[in-house]
Amino acid sequence: MPRAIRGVLIECDPSIKSIIVNIDSDNHEFIIEDLDDERVVVKENMVPLLKQKLEDVCLLLSLVALHAPWGLAHALLPQRLKENLPPLDESGSE
């Protein structure tokens, strides 16, 4: 006999979704279905715990960013921005 699991559709940025997938990777207790880059279905009864874990990760990341040496943050920032830029067209045409 089939069993149904109540789920909640979560739509978020790909960066947040990757954090959710990472949180779920240990015990696979949150995600029911990974739909695409911005959507995931999680168990309804696990949403409050998942929110708490996301808040913990965001707090940790903000603390790391605050206490990181400026030289390290400065060295990493331009590299991350360059990864998101389209390649330059050096042909001279617009």
Listed by start position, the domains of the chain span 7-84
Q: How far apart are the first and last CA of the chain?
A: 62
Residue 10 pLDDT greater than 70, yes or no: yes
d(Cα 54, Cα 85) in Å, to the nearest integer?
A: 28
The DSSP bridge partners found for residue 40 are 10, 34
42 vs 48: CA distance, rounded Å? 11
Only one residue has tokens 């617009």, namely 94
Q: How confident is the model at residue 13 (pLDDT cuts 50, 70, 90)?
A: very high
pLDDT digits (tens, 9 = 90+) for 52-63: 999 998 888 887
State the pLDDT confidence band at 28, using cuts at 50, 70 and 90. very high
Q: How confident is the model at residue 22 (pLDDT cuts 50, 70, 90)?
A: very high
CATH code given to domain 7-84: 3.30.70.1220
